[in-house]
A and B are shown apart, each in its own frame.
Chain A
Amino acid sequence: MARTLTFMQAINEALLQEMRRDPTVVVFGEDVVGGSGAPGEMEAWGGPMGVTKGIYPEFPDRILDTPISESAFIGAAVGAASSGLRPVAELMFVDFMGVCFDQIFNQAAKLRYMFGGKAKVPLVIRTTYGAGIRAAAHHSECLYSLFTHIPGLKVAIPSNPYDAKGLLVRAIRDDDPVVFFENKVLYGLEGDVPEELYAVPFGEAAVVREGGDVTVVAIGRMVETAKEAASVLADEGIDCAIVDPRTTSPLDLETIVESVEETGRLVVADEANPRCSMATDICAQVAQECFDDLKAGPRMVTAPHTPVPFSPVLEDAYIPGPEQIAEAVRATVGAKARR
């Protein structure tokens, strides 16, 4: 039965329930036990955000605090995954992923392919992304498009608590490496989450809002922002559909295309930097598939092509807001018909 959980509680529940179901699921990462400075091991923090709280008391042998060496523990997780465990490695901020690209891009992503299907790497790397917590350029990027680019990796970016639990369960059960993106700003978002275990399939977009005028494809946190924009636009008589891809690899292009065929207009809202991003990828694929249906050029709403600024004023200006999405929607609606 469903009850209200936060995004963070949904992830915590998915981890605990999967660990109870499957003894091969283990958790690695920096401070995931979070014992340092806590009054006792039963009260351990469970990570810097508390996402893994409660795992240590129940499974002391299956959760491991690692040294502050991403290249070492991600490499260990790839090895554990390829030799029979299902590790869920937590890499605190996606910005730190750079030091372990070889382990991820060259090893995890290619093992199954290079061993002719005889190896499998059921690895999940959980990481946080996104600006908005005043943590500056080293702790605020989006970067999911980098991982989406690599064949052999799967990429999930939940936008709400229901999908957070279901997609994480699906990621843990997947036999391929999955990079699982959590937005820090969404951790407190509440929503209905079933108590039971369930898996949300990869490659099926959610239609968050139906609408006939413009298709807004929104990634991760931008789904909430797009909903705000859509309600403002509804008062102006513009009816937006919002599509949440949920996973960018695999990407459910079919649902996006179906919607664009109906609306003839596309806006992609993506907090990532604008070059070689999910926004450019989706715009390009839609332009290729639906050129004759488009009534206006696709538009992207993204952060600027800069690192995330430390100044709070600039950081707030950096993150796309509802007004920017609304502006882009108005621009596509107001664009002169192509023919």
Chain B
Amino acid sequence: MIEKLPMPKWGLNMREGALVAWLVEEGARLEVGDDVAEVETEKINGVVESPAAGVLRRKVAEVGDVVPVGGLLGVLAEPAVGDAELDAFVAEFQATFVPEPEDAEAGPQAETLTTGGRSTRFVRLGDGPQAVVLVHGFGGDLTTWLFNQEALATGRRSVIALDLPGHGGSTKDVGGGSLDELAVAVRQFLDGLGLERPHLVGHSLGGAVAAAVAAGRPLRVASLVLIAPAGLGPEINGAFLDGFVEAESRRELKPVLELLFADPDVVTRQLTEEVLKTKRIDGVDEALRAIAGACFPDGRQAVDVAARLAGLDLPMLAIWGAQDAVVPPAHAAALPAGARVELIENAGHQPQMESPHEVNRLIGEFLESLDD
């Protein structure tokens, strides 16, 4: 059995990536999820994880090569597979592979839904019956789920990533910026899409929002996945929040974004530039200040969802990066006793970006285990 190691597709707009480094040698034995190579895209640097178990038999791409999405980086196979068979496999793939054309519409496009007088931008992937809604954190947008949304949108699921009020392509007015105002907006969005009983996945502030939505209508939410959620304890990295709100230039913003990751090299100039582009849009600054002021005044969390979750009979999974420098992993202790808690070693506050394979696997298995 020969397995391809393809150039991954991170986000809707990715067409190609450049191979920055191989992290393993030919002949290395790999498990599913092992780090294999570093790839640079226009938006972000990321690590390609092994899609299968096996031995890395051939490095097809060389460092510096620009490979289209789906193109071959390398091949995995057991030692029993002969060299001739491997070469034939590679040759046939290279002869028949057709990259997605440059000018093709990038598959699914962002949509907009207007509910309660506000418009919400979202992207929907998949059309299965199990609806999963992804809610990003403070200062983020739906591209937070760059490495996750497509992986989660398998056959029986439809996965919807939205922009919270004040963020991304959604209406910038956040009112007072309180957790409950954000939760109302998400609830109206869910109703507007006609989602009867979605699974909610929230990151950071989005975790607190998802929890608030679930607590407000427990029968209309199927389960909760909380990634480094806010709302479970008073501590939060005030320097991150202040720095993020105040930063106006690349030079100011980059070190702040680096606080989000265990490995600061993930933060490229392009990633910083993308975040700045969002921050410059009229109304975003006011929205961020309102939310920070209402939810995280004086570098402390004023939002508390632990008490609201306490009485809920709802399947819950919490995922935390062990090196989270923004919201302490110890806050997981405030979750209800039935919640499953998973800690990811080499990840910071953005495990869904730093260890996407692991996070996707945990969420996938969790959702599989629920019968809806």
Q: Which of A242-270 contact B (CB under 8 A)?
A: 254
Q: Total number of A-B contacts with CB less than 8 angstroms?
A: 31
Q: How far is the CA of A1 from the CA of B163 in the complex (A)?
A: 11
A194-B277, A207-B269, A210-B269 given as contacts; is B282 within 8 A of A201 (CB)? Answer: no
A1-B121, A1-B169, A207-B269 given as contacts; is B250 within 8 A of A196 (CB)? Answer: no
Q: Does B251 contact A (CB under 8 A)?
A: yes
Encoded as 1 (CB less than 8 Å from any A CB) or 0, chain B from 314 to 328 comes to 000000000000000
Q: Which of B267-291 contact A (CB under 8 A)?
A: 269, 273, 277, 280-283
Contact of B280 among A1, A21, A198, A210 (CB under 8 A): A198
Q: Does B248 contact A (CB under 8 A)?
A: yes
Contacts of A162 in B (CB 8 A): 277
Contacts of B281 in A (CB 8 A): 194, 196-198
Contacts of B249 in A (CB 8 A): 201, 204
Contacts of B251 in A (CB 8 A): 254
Are the CB atoms of B277 and A204 closer together than 8 Å?
no
Question: How many whole Å from B46's CB to the nearest CB in chain A?
Answer: 17
Are the CB atoms of A196 and B269 closer together than 8 Å?
no
Q: Which of A174-202 contact B (CB under 8 A)?
A: 194, 196-201
Are the CB atoms of A200 and B250 closer together than 8 Å?
no
Question: How many whole Å from A171's CB to the nearest CB in chain B?
Answer: 14
Q: Does B23 contact A (CB under 8 A)?
A: no
Contacts of B269 in A (CB 8 A): 207, 210
Q: How far is the CA of A207 from the CA of B269 in the complex (A)?
A: 8
Q: Does A166 contact B (CB under 8 A)?
A: yes
Question: How many whole Å from B156's CB to the nearest CB in chain A?
Answer: 30
Contact of A200 among B112, B121, B280 (CB under 8 A): B280
Closest to A162 in B: B277
Q: How far is the CA of A200 from the CA of B282 in the complex (A)?
A: 11
A1-B110, A1-B121, A207-B269 given as contacts; is B250 within 8 A of A198 (CB)? Answer: no
Contacts of A206 in B (CB 8 A): 273
Q: How far is the CA of A21 from the CA of B110 in the complex (A)?
A: 27
Encoded as 1 (CB less than 8 Å from any A CB) or 0, chain B from 236 to 265 comes to 000000000000111100000000000000
Question: How many whole Å from B122's CB to the nearest CB in chain A?
Answer: 11
Closest to B168 in A: A1
Contacts of A197 in B (CB 8 A): 281-282
Q: How far is the CA of A129 from the CA of B279 in the complex (A)?
A: 31
Encoded as 1 (CB less than 8 Å from any A CB) or 0, chain B from 63 to 84 comes to 0000000000000000000000
Q: How far is the CA of A3 from the CA of B248 in the complex (A)?
A: 24
Contact of B282 among A196, A204, A207, A210 (CB under 8 A): A196
Question: How many whole Å from A193's CB to the nearest CB in chain B?
Answer: 11
Question: How many whole Å from B219's CB to the nearest CB in chain A?
Answer: 34
Q: How far is the CA of A162 from the CA of B172 in the complex (A)?
A: 20
Question: How many whole Å from A184's CB to the nearest CB in chain B?
Answer: 26
Q: How far is the CA of A201 from the CA of B252 in the complex (A)?
A: 13
Q: How far is the CA of A254 from the CA of B169 in the complex (A)?
A: 32
- List 5 A-B pairs, minimum CB-CB distance, nearest first: A197-B282, A198-B280, A1-B169, A198-B281, A196-B281
With A199-B280, A200-B280, A206-B273 already in contact, 9 other A-B pairs whose C-beta atoms are closer than 8 Å: A1-B121, A166-B280, A194-B281, A196-B282, A197-B282, A198-B281, A198-B282, A199-B282, A254-B251
Please give the residue numbers on chain A whose beta carbons come within 8 Å of chain B beta carbons, in ascending order: 1, 21, 162, 166, 194, 196-201, 204, 206-207, 210, 254
Please give the residue numbers on chain B whose beta carbons come within 8 Å of chain A beta carbons, in ascending order: 110, 112, 121, 169, 172, 248-251, 269, 273, 277, 280-283
